[in-house]
């Protein structure tokens, strides 16, 4: 049993649990996204590194590729989704003056289904 | 069952709790954007699940599943974001 691998796996899982808790507890979509993308990415990356330290089968390049791909694409996806969230007019909690008010078109009522 | 496998089994239970929380947000909404964020979170936890399964079963092929999920997640997020903006513009 390798202790660094176990520690990284536990830490990564803890970050994922906190991220999921934030997705439930925070109050508006942008705050939930802040929890899901930042803590979620860090959690998955730490968990994968821990597993790769433990797994010595020689096939770990796929794992490193997954980490690299996640770090490259999750910020891009989050930016696209945040812009779409703002434009679709979802409720923003705790923001008094909106600095993007004149910059982007925004729906007055949120699109709900 | 080695100590590392028992640890992996315990972590899988914790990850299942995280999956349930993200799924709850997806069902509850209340807006479209919330559901897409929950989908993002669900796939991130699923990649973690695949990684834990590697330790649990000793088969590193599960890392490929993680990579596949990460690829699909990016395409899905981009497509949903474009869809959400187009839906707003059409109104």
Return per-residue pLDDT of chain A as tens, 113 residues.
588 888 999 999 999 999 999 999 888 888 888 888 888 889 999 999 998 888 776 667 888 888 898 888 888 888 888 888 888 777 777 677 776 776 677 766 666 55
Distance of residue B81 Cα from the nearest chain A Cα, in angstroms: 5
Q: Per the domain annotation, does A31 fall within a domain?
A: yes
Q: Which residues of B touch A59 (CB under 8 A)?
A: 60-61, 63
Phi (first) and psi of residue B57, to 5 degrees: -100, -15
Distance of residue B27 Cα from the nearest chain A Cα, in angstroms: 11
pLDDT at residue A1, rounded to an integer: 56
Interface pTM, i.e. ipTM: 0.87
- Give me the CATH topology for the region B3-90: Helix Hairpins (1.10.287)
Give the total number of structural domains in chain A.
Answer: 1
Cβ–Cβ below 8 Å for B4 and A6? yes
Q: Which residues contact B54 (CB under 8 A, 6 or more apart)?
A: A51, A55, B60, B62, B63
User: In which domain, by residue range, is A56 found?
Assistant: 3-87
Per residue in B41-55, pLDDT tens?
A: 999 999 999 999 988
Q: Per the domain annotation, does A93 fall within a domain?
A: no
Q: Per the domain annotation, does A81 fall within a domain?
A: yes
């Amino acid at each position: 049993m390798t202790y660094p691998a176990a520690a990284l796996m536990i830490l990564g899982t803890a970050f994922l649990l906190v991220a999921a808790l934030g997705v439930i507890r925070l109050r508006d979509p942008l705050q939930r996204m802040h929890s899901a993308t930042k803590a979620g990415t860090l959690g998955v990356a730490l968990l994968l590194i821990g597993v790769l330290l433990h797994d010595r089968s020689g096939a770990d390049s796929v794992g490193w590729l997954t980490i690299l791909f996640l770090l490259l694409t999750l910020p891009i996806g989050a930016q696209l989704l945040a812009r779409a969230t703002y434009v679709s007019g979802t409720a923003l909690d705790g923001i008094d003056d909106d600095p993007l008010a004149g910059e982007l078109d925004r729906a007055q009522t949120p699109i709900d289904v | 069952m080695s100590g590392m496998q028992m640890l992996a089994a315990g972590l899988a239970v914790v990850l299942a709790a995280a999956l349930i929380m993200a799924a709850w947000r997806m069902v509850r909404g209340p807006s479209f954007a919330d559901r897409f964020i929950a989908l993002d979170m669900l796939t991130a936890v699923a990649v973690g699940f695949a990684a834990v399964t590697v330790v649990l079963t000793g088969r590193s092929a599960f890392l490929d599943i993680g990579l596949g999920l990460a690829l699909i997640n990016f395409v899905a997020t981009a497509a949903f974001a474009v869809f959400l903006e187009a839906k707003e513009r059409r109104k």
